[in-house]
Structure 1
Amino acid sequence: MIVKANLRSGGSRLIAAAITIIVSVAFVVAVMGVLASFQSTMRAQLAAQYAGADLVVKHSNEGPLEKKKQKAIENTAGVKETQRIERSFATFASGGVALVNVWPKNSEIKVDSGRAPSKPNEILFDTEVAKEENKKIGDQVELTFPFVPDPEKSKVTFTITGIGHMPESALQVTNASAAKLAPEFDHLRIQTDKSADVSTVQSAVAKTLAGSADVKTNDFGAKVGGDYTVSTEDQLVQEGIENLTGNSKTIVAFITAFIVVAFFVAVLVISNTFQVLVASRIRSLALLRAVGATRSQLRNATLAEGALLGLISSIIGVLVGWGASLLLSIALRAFMQSTFQTAPLPILAVVTGVAVGVCVTVAASFIPALKATRVSPIDALAPADIPAPATRFPWVRLVIGALLTALGLLGIAVGAASSDMMFTLPGAFAAFCGVLVLSRVFVPPLVELTGRIGEKVFRSPTLGLVARNVKLAPRRTASTTAALLIGVTLVATIFMGAQTTRTTIDAELSEFAPIDFVAYSSSDKTVKTLENSKIVKDVNTLPGTRAKTSVPLGHNPDSKETLVIGVENKKYSVPRSTDLLPPPGVLYIGVDTDVEEYKGKEITLHAGKKKVQLTLKVHNAVPSGTTLANADDVAALGLKESEGQTWVRLADDVSVSQVSTLRSDLEKADVAADGEGAVKRAEFAETLTIMMGIVLGLLGASVIISIVGVGNTLSLATIERKRETALLRTLGLPRWAAAGMVAAEATLMAIVSIVVGTALGILFGWASVKSLLTSDSITVVADIPWLMFGLVAVVTVLAALIASLLPALAASRTQPAQGVAQR
């Protein structure tokens, strides 16, 4: 009966707690659903590659399979037939690259339109590749196979017979087409006799390949014979998923960290919610105690209320989470990967969501339940008044919090110095827990100080009154600020880490790839094409000349000729690093050549009857097929504009597709181009943006829960200060001013959480990047994203104001006579 009455009287406050539980459980279920969908998608893709084969033989180090070994396998008992799957590397006229695979027999690869290749010089295109190259069924496409021994036979024209989603985006041809494309062995497909036992044949094939060596079994159950692995389809799929996702324990730990954070915030919010409920039921609890209710009955009733609320909310959360995972999987299929499978509703996700939701709710309601047992009939029926200010300094919190913070900072320092996340991650967690413990010590004084400063600056008595009120409930003030502090710190850490990573990698790319784009022509037509592009920021033309060298530089295997580009002694605006400009007397050559024995030695360049001697040095950023020299040093060779290059700087936010389009535009004008520097920068930026989106999405649940928590705690403040608000209303305080006090309190706590959370985020973000980038050659450049932090501050204040809306309205409706009267 008590539980039933409590649920009826809970009203909107129970709804607030229910929203917290629903969001938390939905977060867990949605994440688990998307992970299950991702795994099933990867499994389907891998299965399509090997489906139809009973066994698959692969080389452990991607080496070849000799024909005699294949013959021996075919003679093994139980083997019906084999098919050798080979692949070749090819390039398109547009500059794009592709893998060309042999079409497997009995394949389950889905052809969306058209048909699979059945004759020589027919090809099946991957859907994404067809879109990139703007190809359709029936089109003729010329592919270049650079590793074909005879250059005259390196170009082959195919007819597109079908389009579908290919494993690894590889284009598919027949065995007959692959024979002349300098193929490399990929794997051998084996069909067994219907009467044969597949596991027996698997062991027999492994013994055939092992020779005198013993047959072993790997972690996935496949048989290892010598340098070869004999696997079933399921074993290959399991291995492939492991390779694609990396260490599954790391992924689980990564996701678990966000789930723990979400539920940690949920515990704070739910606990505050039940404190509000207990505070609002003081009179009802007192009446129950007066008519004979025992302390244990009140405690158990509060816990039972939490359990029932947790169960109902968790069930709703499961459904909401499943719906969210469905929508996300549909969005991924529409915008990123058309083969992404619909998210299922895993039984484990249902059980985990409901169990954790109920347990968290019961645990969070435990302390409020104990407070309910302390209600005395006489004390509770006495007039409600403002609670007395806390007079005892929280020494225990100070000691424990200081120790945790110190240990955490030590772990962060060790991790950053040694580039080891095993120290940095637990150190950051310990430091943050220490700050949360210390919040009871430093947050109330900071909020009070902020309010008094605001009172002086804005001449607002309301801010001064709010600042003084903080002393009355320091625990509640710290708890509310902590809810906001968690969200701000997490978001600030992500922004700081992303910006620092971006700046650091940009600095590295500026050294290793200082030129965004190189056009191997300096004609007016080339320059005009570049200048007409919206993504081009600046263009420099450099003269060049063909010269013969005294030693082979590897640019032309048939001669010692090289293209020398003269770089003038002026500050070019295109290279992102001045390190690329060669000093006098030096000739730079790229790392794509084998000149180890000539490094640091003088070589001679000949052009007609002219010659110069320069010291050869290797520079990683020299354009392919080019050598760079100081223009004054090679002027005697006769530099020509017609044999020069055009260096281009592109916009910082350029995409990979835009770079490809620019290269295609130049190739249509018969101008070769290389945009490797811009592509690397764009790929990194796109990857970082995707990762930030994923992480911020994972943090969304914690932020939503924090907002609900602020509203709950401010509701408790409104209840506790009802007499004070009524007295102020009696003295002439307008309604809007009463509401403004609640909003001002929320704003002050938001400001403190912004300052402290941003400082912690800067530290945690920098330390994380310093620990992740383990290379000694990389210098981490700390870059604080002030603009993003400003946006976070604005959003935090707005979120606090939104959370204070309902409590502010409740305060504004306080009637002077009713509030001052005894309850």
Structure 2
Amino acid sequence: MLRITLAQMRSSAGRLTAAGVAILIGTAFVTATLLASGIITRTTYDAVTARYADADLVVTATYDEPLTAAEVDAVSDLDDVEATAVMDQVGVALVGGSRTVYQSVVAAVDESLQPLEVADGTLPAQDDEIALPADVAERLGADVGGTVAVETWVSDDDGGRSVTRPMTVVGIVTDPAGAYMTTGGAAAVAPATFDQWLADQNGGEATATELAVALADGTDVEAARTDVAAAAGGASREVVTTDERAERVTAEFTGGQDLLFLVFTLTFAAIALLVAGLVIANTFQVLVAQRTRTLALLRCVGADKRQVSRSVLTEATILGVMASVGGVLLGIVLGQGALWVAHALDVPVPLPDAISLTWQAVVLPVVVGTLVTVLSALVPARAATRVAPLAALRPADAPSAARGAGKARLVLSLLATVTGFALLAAGAALGLADQPETGLLAGFTGGALSFVGVAVGAVFWLPKVTSTAVRLVGASGPTARLAGANTLRNPRRTAATSTALLIGVTLVATMSTGAASARASLTSALDEQYPVDVVVSSAEYDATGNPTPLPDSLVSEVAGVDGVARAVPVTTIAPQISWPGAEDAPYQPEAVGVDPGAGRDVVRNDGLSELAAGTILLPSWSGLPTGPDAPATVTVTLGDQSLELRAVVAPVETWGAVLSAADVATLTGGASATGLWIGVTDVSAAGDVVPTVQDLVADSGVVADVSGAAVERASFEQVIDTLLAIVLGLLAVAVVIALIGVANTLSLSVIERRRESATLRAIGLSKAQLRGMLAIEGLLIAGVGAVLGIALGLVYGWAGSAAALGIMGDVALAVPWLDVALVLLVAVVAGLVASVVPARTALKASPVEALAAE
């Protein structure tokens, strides 16, 4: 029987290839996921341990009981200890010309414990020497041999004071391993200088909270750990290896949830395998239908039901093993290829050069892939044994569209669907009512339950939806009507195929809708909190307590920066605002004067919609009476000048008070601008605009603050876009697998209708018309699944957004039109492509040959 099975596999190689591709993609996904988890874990550990360089042990202490200088020396004096380095950092201000950069500083320690690399010059050895990061040296205009002023802090009983000293730049350093990535790099000074600065910062003693220890070659790490712990103060200190330290730091960052990524991505792998299972089940239905006569003959010559069933399952096992092994190899290639691409793109995160294979990444995908294949073949294997030998030798009746499913399945699917959508609606309502935790739990449960109900009940309602689509396309001609009728010949199989596509498309649409809504809601929230992209405000004050003006040249220079759409001058004053009943306790805000029209052009919300000359905008917390008791005007006083202005409660509460520039000029006698409101042309490029503005302000010689809300906005949007790209990439695998199922379903339909197609050809149906009929079938199956998936995805995406984002305020529900159009386009094209191979099969035999076949 095994020889017969292998012979059948050889004769059906093309059909098995389609099923093999489905399971190969799924197992490659699982393998790549497991490998990615290992790479991420290793990369995370390396990122944490990068600053320890080649250290073997790390000694940690608390801020309340830090390591003393004597304890550090005691550890350094141990026989097995080759070198030690204090891992604490000191913050300083570096001044070059008119620019100031705040920078972390570390000690230039032994090479084995030094993660910084010297790009030019040397590491500092004298008290007045310093090595700067390359980007800091460029901003300060400092070269090797040049001088920078270094401002440090000395703590004392009076609170402390700053000390400034000139230091010679002896080296330019880089941080290739990203050891100090979170602090924007690190400068280095001589160990003695660092110890002195650390002592000044800590109030007189160079204490430390972390010490890296490098051991001599051949030293027993566990024995050395005990000795180091004793020298460092015994049980009150913690001595760990660098990997143990990385594991603990990672756990602190993730809250102990460091397995979430693995679970997250394996969930998508499970979705891909589920869809692959549906495709494989349909493929084996194709094979069983194709071999009906062969299986019947085997029964006639003595094969029993178990042997026939075992033959199908053996075929599935062999296919599963071969495809899964291929998937593992593909996953390994993809993992290594991703590393090569990352290195070629010079990503800022240090990554390993090669993947690390584990038995889990090799064995688990093979086991899972084979198991899914065998389970998917159970129903077709059972169908192969269901017909008696003599009955199977007779021509089979075409499948009936009237065949229904069980009542129990109908009841369960209805209960799951109704209950699930009710919970989903409750989750959205709870999220909008500022109860996101409960809302997310209810929404996730409802979404999962309703989706299961929709998928399980698809066999009942999908044929009816398809029937409606058939009536719509049927108006285009008899070929379309034939195609529509063919999709309804076997409702179970059509439903299974559309469901496979429905799952993938629904998840893609859900994530796209959720991300689009999150982006819109986040943008709305940021617009309210940070209405201006970049703000420049004077940080110096005159004798009256008002900010000093900015130079007119600075205003024009900032307006000319590439990426700045508009720079609007503003003037900040500190007036007193009173109204009847508030004369004794006037409102004293920091008020901003701006030209109403220019201000509305640069502000991203409606906060200035009511601003005009003679009007002042006040926030609700100002105490201004509202309603019938609201005063018609308020008195604004600045020094000896007063104005009567109409008071309006600002629609968006962001500023203390806002006046027109003309009214501020009246109060101040024509004061110059003390700040700028800047709008950028592209938020995503704000990271380049803000440093340029900062440099211009620093070069102008004035002391001013530059705050860039646009940078925060861009970082949030980048996170959303990155996560969306990753998720859509993962879900696209499931969609690709489902589209393979469309081709398999059409192939089975062609096999079942071989004689029917020949009859149509014999009575005048042309080859082009037959191809068109199959193309319309593919479009119907793929189109119905895609449209319904998009509709469900919009519902799930909106409900999920409401449940998760309600705490941010008003949730903006968005439709990702581009993603929707792309999914529909892919479905249409894939439906057409999927019909090509079945059409070639249908046209291969002449009408006479097909009609002669028994």
The two structures share one fold, judged by TM-score above 0.5: yes
Give the structure 2 partner of residue 712 of structure 1: 744
Closer, same or farther: CA 402–120 of 1 in aligned 2, 3 Å: farther
- Equivalent residues in 2 for 1:504-653, closer than 5 Å: 504-520=521-537, 525-526=553-554, 528-533=556-561, 535-544=563-572, 565-568=592-595, 572-579=600-607, 609-610=640-641, 629=659, 631=661, 634-638=664-668, 640=670, 642-653=672-683
In the alignment, does 2:210 pair up with 1:200? no
Distance, in Å, in 1 between the alignment partners of 2:201 and 2:772 is: 75
Distance, in Å, in 1 between the alignment partners of 2:481 and 2:735 is: 29
Give the structure 2 partner of residue 779 of structure 1: 810
434-443 or 231-240, which deviates more? 231-240
Match of 1:696 among 728, 743, 749: 728
Give the structure 2 partner of residue 679 of structure 1: 711
Match of 2:250 among 241, 247, 259: 241
Cα contact 2:683–2:711 (8 A) shared by 1: no
Distance, in Å, in 1 between the alignment partners of 2:400 and 2:15 is: 25
Cα distance per residue 1:622-663 (max 9 Å; x no partner): 79xx98555566444326463343322223543243324542
- Equivalent residues in 2 for 1:352-501, closer than 5 Å: 352-392=364-404, 394-416=406-428, 417=430, 418-420=435-437, 421-456=440-475, 459-501=476-518
Give the structure 1 partner of residue 339 of structure 2: 329
Q: Secondary structure at the match of 1:162?
A: strand
Distance, in Å, in 1 between the alignment partners of 2:137 and 2:852 is: 76
Cα contact 2:590–2:657 (8 A) shared by 1: yes
Closer, same or farther: CA 350–145 of 1 in aligned 2, 3 Å: farther
Distance, in Å, in 2 between the alignment partners of 1:667 and 1:99 is: 23
Amino acid of the structure 2 residue aligned with 1:99: S
Closer, same or farther: CA 731–548 of 1 in aligned 2, 3 Å: closer
Cα contact 1:385–1:723 (8 A) shared by 2: no
Give the structure 2 partner of residue 743 of structure 1: 775
Amino acid of the structure 2 residue aligned with 1:469: N
Distance, in Å, in 1 between the alignment partners of 2:229 and 2:273 is: 49
Distance, in Å, in 2 between the alignment partners of 1:356 and 1:143 is: 63
Closer, same or farther: CA 612–700 of 1 in aligned 2, 3 Å: same
Distance, in Å, in 2 between the alignment partners of 1:669 and 1:286 is: 90
564-573 or 429-438, which deviates more? 564-573
Amino acid of the structure 2 residue aligned with 1:337: P
In the alignment, does 2:814 pair up with 1:805? no
Cα contact 2:60–2:239 (8 A) shared by 1: yes
- Equivalent residues in 2 for 1:51-130, closer than 5 Å: 51-53=53-55, 55-60=57-62, 63=63, 69-71=68-70, 83-89=85-91, 98-105=103-110, 106-107=112-113, 109=115, 111=117, 113-114=119-120, 116-120=123-127, 122-123=129-130, 129=135
Cα contact 2:507–2:793 (8 A) shared by 1: yes
Cα contact 1:405–1:431 (8 A) shared by 2: yes
Distance, in Å, in 2 between the alignment partners of 1:439 and 1:691 is: 30
Cα contact 1:411–1:424 (8 A) shared by 2: yes
Cα contact 2:755–2:851 (8 A) shared by 1: yes
Distance, in Å, in 1 between the alignment partners of 2:227 and 2:644 is: 67
Distance, in Å, in 1 between the alignment partners of 2:6 and 2:715 is: 58
Cα distance per residue 1:785-810 (max 9 Å; x no partner): 22321222112211222222211222
Cα contact 1:144–1:155 (8 A) shared by 2: yes
Closer, same or farther: CA 315–606 of 1 in aligned 2, 3 Å: same
Amino acid of the structure 2 residue aligned with 1:29: T
Measured after TM superposition, the shift of residue 369 of structure 1 is 1.1
Closer, same or farther: CA 464–586 of 1 in aligned 2, 3 Å: closer
Cα contact 2:775–2:835 (8 A) shared by 1: yes
Closer, same or farther: CA 587–160 of 1 in aligned 2, 3 Å: farther
Measured after TM superposition, the shift of residue 664 of structure 1 is 5.2
Distance, in Å, in 2 between the alignment partners of 1:162 and 1:261 is: 47
Number of aligned positions between the proteins: 775
Closer, same or farther: CA 651–564 of 1 in aligned 2, 3 Å: same
Cα distance per residue 1:318-339 (max 9 Å; x no partner): 1110110111122223332362
Measured after TM superposition, the shift of residue 819 of structure 1 is 2.3
Match of 2:144 among 130, 135, 138: 138
Measured after TM superposition, the shift of residue 705 of structure 1 is 0.9
Q: Secondary structure at the match of 1:655?
A: helix
Give the structure 2 partner of residue 557 of structure 1: none
Distance, in Å, in 2 between the alignment partners of 1:756 and 1:717 is: 23
Give the structure 2 partner of residue 219 of structure 1: none
Amino acid of the structure 2 residue aligned with 1:173: A
Distance, in Å, in 2 between the alignment partners of 1:400 and 1:686 is: 42
Closer, same or farther: CA 163–75 of 1 in aligned 2, 3 Å: closer
Distance, in Å, in 2 between the alignment partners of 1:97 and 1:451 is: 69
Give the structure 1 partner of residue 689 of structure 2: 659
Q: Secondary structure at the match of 2:361?
A: helix
Cα contact 1:405–1:435 (8 A) shared by 2: yes
Give the structure 2 partner of residue 727 of structure 1: 759
Amino acid of the structure 2 residue aligned with 1:343: I
Distance, in Å, in 1 between the alignment partners of 2:814 and 2:589 is: 42
In the alignment, does 2:359 pair up with 1:347? yes
Distance, in Å, in 2 between the alignment partners of 1:643 and 1:682 is: 28
Give the structure 2 partner of residue 597 of structure 1: none
Cα contact 1:582–1:630 (8 A) shared by 2: no
Measured after TM superposition, the shift of residue 668 of structure 1 is 7.1
Cα contact 2:423–2:445 (8 A) shared by 1: yes
Give the structure 2 partner of residue 263 of structure 1: 273
Amino acid of the structure 2 residue aligned with 1:234: D
Distance, in Å, in 1 between the alignment partners of 2:683 and 2:242 is: 43
Give the structure 1 partner of residue 320 of structure 2: 310
Amino acid of the structure 2 residue aligned with 1:783: A
Percent of residue pairs bearing the same amino acid type: 30
Cα contact 2:268–2:730 (8 A) shared by 1: yes
In the alignment, does 2:14 pair up with 1:15? no
424-433 or 663-672, which deviates more? 663-672
Cα contact 1:20–1:708 (8 A) shared by 2: yes
TM-score normalised per structure 2: 0.81
In the alignment, does 2:171 pair up with 1:160? yes
